[in-house]
């Protein structure tokens, strides 16, 4: 470990915030600190917990811990939860101790599913919307944001917090700006609350809200958990919502030691409630609430990417800059300018062919990242088509919510059929390999009977992209969101340009830039950035070109005529779009001149 990492591991402060950029050993340091606390400070593993943002972040941390324990020959692994599975555990305990609004076991559902429990849920609400679907979207969006902490002033724990006279404006990616009246939201929330109690169901944000309610009442459940946990470690803190921050602080009495790790430049789930300010506020909150002297530690040495790549990635972030730990000179990052994503995928497949057959790069060392904008990505399809043409194999890690729900449904039905059974006795009866593998993971994490599986199913649906670790022998194709925490020697990132990346006609540029940053910082040896110049928004391609990079133009007829993928019609279209772009650029320049004059 380097000096900064060692300091973070050994610092005895009650509250520690580690700010660490990509590849600086964030997870490595957290794993080392967990072991240090056990071995040097004699903290029993049962008195510590880890909290991570997603299942992939959790498995990343567990793998690192295992690596260290194998090396040392001793050390245990603490329970690692996601915020939702922790909330589920708190509610479960509170039901047992009579502290929860739920009197018996709960099930979790999607917010929209509440309607299936009571079709009258929307009756007479949001009359300004003509159709039931829009009403549902608007109310669910407002309801979720209120509980995450992004609608009212901080997280709301009950409908009583909603101001009837207020009108809430909610900007969304998919539906544009939604408007919901306070009185409708309040009535909706009241009705949902009834359904929750009657049907013993709640949704994801409902779990967090109920867990906070339970702990802030400071009853037996609060005593139980504050007695149990002495050391708490939180990974990816920049992606927590205000409600999750509140849950963490309500879990504390005066004795816990808390370490949080994060990188505000990697906040990419704002649309899901993440609030990067939580990281900045952590120390201040700890000082105010517990009168302690917290410590902030910065890890600035990057062990992943050579300086040439870091120069590009550093230029995208405002404050923190990272330096490479070794003096390794590799090739310059490549910025490829093309007209459209068809040409981009053509460039990628040709370059990959060269890498594999001439440079002898192993296919599993190559990853293609794209900015997902819908369930179905034409960009990824175009790349796959070109790779198929060259007979190059790839693995597409689409671990989206849909496939995970199928797995969670399988696990749930297995759980229901085998209630009260020991997992050890029934694991061999599972036919579906993925379910079996999942149950095995749960068992190695401490699950012993079928009922314990519920807690882990909560994790399955936790984030939209609960990305699986990269596996397999062929090229990886992934979304940028799902690449978080991973690294690959060769990374291609496509496709930059207005409405593609930054995405949408009204992009949240800062969030898009952070997403771009996450994608770029996955590269260990060579980085390819592919796209066109933007006209309407900040152009990511132009930003990259300001650094020392290799600039490739992939749109001359000479090159296209050598390709298979472009018909005469395509070429004509490309030519026209180039002429249009040139014309627009000329107009823009004229306007700028006029403005300067």
Ligand X SMILES: Nc1ncnc2c1ncn2[C@@H]1O[C@H](COP(=O)(O)OP(=O)(O)OP(=O)(O)O)[C@@H](O)[C@H]1O
Number of Cβ atoms within 10 Å of the Cβ of 54: 24
Residue 346 makes contact with ligand X by CB under 6 A: no
Task: Output the 3-class SS for 120-172.
Answer: HHHCCCCCCCCCHHHHHHHHHHHHHHHHHCCCCCCCCCCHHHCCCCCEEEEEE
Min dist. Cβ of residue 538 to ligand X (A): 24
Window contacting ligand X (CB under 6 A); options: 15-23, 161-169, 423-431, 441-449: 15-23
- Among 20, 142, 491, 515, interactor with ligand X by CB under 6 A: 20
- Among 4, 15, 17, 22, interactor with ligand X by CB under 6 A: 22
The distance in angstroms from the start CA to the end CA of the chain is 57
| Beta-carbon contacts of residue 65 (< 8 Å; ≥ 6 apart) | 31, 34, 35, 75, 77
- Among 4, 19, 24, 267, interactor with ligand X by CB under 6 A: 24
Min dist. Cβ of residue 6 to ligand X (A): 9
Q: How many residues does the chain have?
A: 597
| Beta-carbon contacts of residue 117 (< 8 Å; ≥ 6 apart) | 195, 199, 201
Known binding positions for ATP: 20-27
DSSP E strands in 428-508: the ranges are: 475-479, 488-496, 499-500, 503-504
* Cβ closest to ligand X, residue 421 vs residue 525: 525
Is residue 446 within 8 Å of 79, Cβ to Cβ?
A: yes
Residue 25 makes contact with ligand X by CB under 6 A: yes
Nearest of 584, 526, 196 to residue 329 by alpha carbon: 526
Residue 117 makes contact with ligand X by CB under 6 A: no
Min dist. Cβ of residue 5 to ligand X (A): 6
Residue 372 makes contact with ligand X by CB under 6 A: no
* Cβ closest to ligand X, residue 99 vs residue 263: 263
Min dist. Cβ of residue 478 to ligand X (A): 14
Is residue 336 within 8 Å of 554, Cβ to Cβ?
A: yes
Binding residues for ligand X, how many (CB under 6 A)?
Answer: 15
Min dist. Cβ of residue 434 to ligand X (A): 25
What per-residue string of b and e applies to 579-597 under the rule 16 or more CB within 10 Å gives b?
eeeeeeeeeeeeeeeeeee
Q: Which helix (H) or strand (E) segment is 277 a member of?
A: helix 277-290
* Cβ closest to ligand X, residue 54 vs residue 144: 54
Q: Of 252-271, which residues contact ligand X (CB under 6 A)?
A: 263
Residue 28 makes contact with ligand X by CB under 6 A: yes
Q: How is the chain split among helix, strand and coil, in percent rounded to 5?
A: 50, 15, 35
Min dist. Cβ of residue 26 to ligand X (A): 3
* Cβ closest to ligand X, residue 64 vs residue 554: 64
Window contacting ligand X (CB under 6 A); options: 24-32, 210-218, 410-418, 434-442: 24-32
Residue 340 makes contact with ligand X by CB under 6 A: no
Residue 463 makes contact with ligand X by CB under 6 A: no
382 Cα distance to chain centroid = 25
* Cβ closest to ligand X, residue 2 vs residue 307: 2
Residue 79 makes contact with ligand X by CB under 6 A: no
* Cβ closest to ligand X, residue 20 vs residue 201: 20
Whether residue 499 has a cis bond before it, omega within 30° of 0 = no
Residue 59 makes contact with ligand X by CB under 6 A: no
* Cβ closest to ligand X, residue 25 vs residue 531: 25
Window contacting ligand X (CB under 6 A); options: 22-30, 105-113, 560-568, 571-579: 22-30
Residue 26 makes contact with ligand X by CB under 6 A: yes
Window contacting ligand X (CB under 6 A); options: 19-27, 120-128, 212-220, 380-388: 19-27
Residue 23 makes contact with ligand X by CB under 6 A: yes
CA distances from residue 443 to 48, 435, 447, 461 in whole angstroms, order as listed: 19, 12, 5, 19
Binding mask 557-576 for ligand X (x = CB under 6 A): --------------------
Nearest of 60, 547, 8, 517 to residue 263 by alpha carbon: 517
Known binding positions: 20-27
Min dist. Cβ of residue 53 to ligand X (A): 11
| Beta-carbon contacts of residue 92 (< 8 Å; ≥ 6 apart) | 105, 455
Q: Which helix (H) or strand (E) segment is 335 a member of?
A: strand 334-337
Residue 206 makes contact with ligand X by CB under 6 A: no
Q: Of 301-330, which residues contact ligand X (CB under 6 A)?
A: 303-304
Residue 50 makes contact with ligand X by CB under 6 A: no
* Cβ closest to ligand X, residue 298 vs residue 427: 298
Min dist. Cβ of residue 230 to ligand X (A): 24
Q: Which DSSP string corresponds to 204-259?
A: HHHHHHHHHHHHHTTSHHHHHHHHH-SEEEESSGGG--HHHHHHHHHT--SS-EEE
Q: Is 567 helix (H, G, I), strand (E, B) or coil?
A: coil
| Beta-carbon contacts of residue 446 (< 8 Å; ≥ 6 apart) | 79, 452
Residue 68 makes contact with ligand X by CB under 6 A: no
- Among 50, 485, 497, 519, interactor with ligand X by CB under 6 A: 485
Nearest of 170, 177, 231 to residue 34 by alpha carbon: 231
* Cβ closest to ligand X, residue 206 vs residue 519: 519
Window contacting ligand X (CB under 6 A); options: 21-29, 178-186, 471-479, 570-578: 21-29
Min dist. Cβ of residue 260 to ligand X (A): 14
Window contacting ligand X (CB under 6 A); options: 26-34, 416-424, 456-464, 585-593: 26-34
Whether residue 502 has a cis bond before it, omega within 30° of 0 = yes
Min dist. Cβ of residue 488 to ligand X (A): 11
Give the distance between the most distant pair of CA atoms in the chain: 82
Window contacting ligand X (CB under 6 A); options: 16-24, 208-216, 240-248, 360-368: 16-24
Bridge partners (DSSP) listed for residue 51 = 81, 234
Residues of this chain that interact with ligand X (CB under 6 A) are 1-2, 5, 20, 22-28, 263, 303-304, 485
């Amino acid at each position: 470990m380097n000096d900064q990492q060692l300091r973070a591991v050994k610092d005895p402060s009650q509250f520690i915030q580690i700010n660490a950029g990509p590849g600086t050993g964030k997870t490595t340091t957290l794993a080392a600190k967990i072991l240090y606390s056990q071995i040097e400070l004699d903290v029993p593993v049962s008195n510590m917990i880890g909290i991570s943002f997603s299942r992939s972040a959790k498995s990343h941390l567990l793998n690192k811990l295992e690596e260290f324990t194998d090396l040392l020959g001793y050390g245990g692994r603490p329970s690692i939860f996601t915020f939702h599975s922790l909330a589920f555990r708190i509610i479960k305990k509170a039901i047992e101790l009579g502290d929860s609004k739920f009197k018996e076991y709960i099930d979790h559902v999607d917010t929209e599913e509440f309607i299936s429990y009571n079709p009258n849920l929307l009756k007479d609400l949001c009359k300004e919307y003509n159709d039931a679907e829009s009403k549902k979207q608007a109310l669910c969006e407002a309801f979720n944001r209120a509980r995450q902490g992004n609608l009212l002033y901080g997280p709301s724990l009950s409908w009583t917090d909603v101001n009837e006279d207020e009108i809430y404006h909610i900007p969304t990616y998919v539906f544009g700006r939604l408007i919901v009246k306070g009185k409708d939201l309040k009535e909706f929330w009241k009705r949902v609350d009834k359904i929750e109690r009657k049907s013993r169901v709640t949704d994801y944000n409902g779990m967090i809200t109920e867990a906070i309610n339970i702990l802030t009442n400071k009853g037996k459940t609060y005593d139980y958990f504050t007695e149990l946990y002495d050391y708490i470690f939180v990974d990816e803190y920049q992606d927590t919502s205000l409600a999750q921050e509140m849950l963490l602080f309500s879990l504390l009495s005066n004795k816990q030691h808390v370490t949080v790790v994060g990188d505000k430049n990697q906040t990419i789930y704002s649309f899901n409630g993440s609030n990067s300010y939580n990281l900045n506020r952590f120390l201040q909150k700890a000082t105010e609430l517990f009168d302690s002297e917290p410590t902030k530690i910065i890890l600035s040495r990057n062990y992943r990417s050579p300086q040439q790549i870091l120069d590009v990635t550093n230029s995208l972030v405002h404050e923190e800059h990272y330096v490479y730990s070794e003096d390794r000179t590799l090739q310059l990052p490549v910025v490829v300018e093309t007209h459209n994503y068809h040409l981009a995928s053509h460039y990628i497949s040709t370059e990959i062919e060269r890498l594999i057959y001439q440079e002898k790069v192993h296919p599993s060392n190559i990853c293609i990242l794209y900015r997902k904008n819908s369930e179905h990505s034409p960009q990824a399809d175009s790349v796959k088509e070109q790779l198929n043409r060259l007979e190059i194999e790839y693995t597409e890690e689409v671990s989206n919510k849909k496939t995970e729900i199928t797995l969670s449904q399988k696990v749930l039905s297995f759980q229901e059929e085998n209630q009260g059974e020991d997992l050890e006795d029934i694991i061999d009866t599972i036919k579906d390999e993925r379910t079996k593998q999942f149950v095995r993971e749960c068992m190695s994490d401490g699950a012993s009977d079928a009922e314990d599986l519920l807690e882990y199913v909560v994790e399955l649906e936790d984030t939209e992209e609960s990305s699986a670790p990269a596996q397999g022998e062929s090229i990886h194709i992934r979304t940028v969101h799902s690449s978080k925490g991973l690294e690959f020697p060769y990374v291609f990132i496509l496709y930059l340009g207005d409405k593609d990346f930054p995405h949408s006609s009204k992009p949240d540029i800062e969030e898009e830039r952070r997403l771009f940053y996450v994608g770029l910082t996955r590269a260990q040896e060579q980085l390819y950035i592919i796209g066109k110049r933007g006209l309407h928004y900040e152009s990511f391609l132009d930003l990259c070109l300001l650094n020392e990079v290799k600039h490739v133009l992939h749109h001359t007829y000479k090159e296209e005529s050598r390709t298979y993928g472009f018909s005469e019609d395509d070429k004509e279209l490309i030519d026209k779009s180039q002429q249009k772009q040139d014309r627009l650029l000329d107009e823009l320049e004229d306007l700028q001149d006029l403005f300067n004059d």
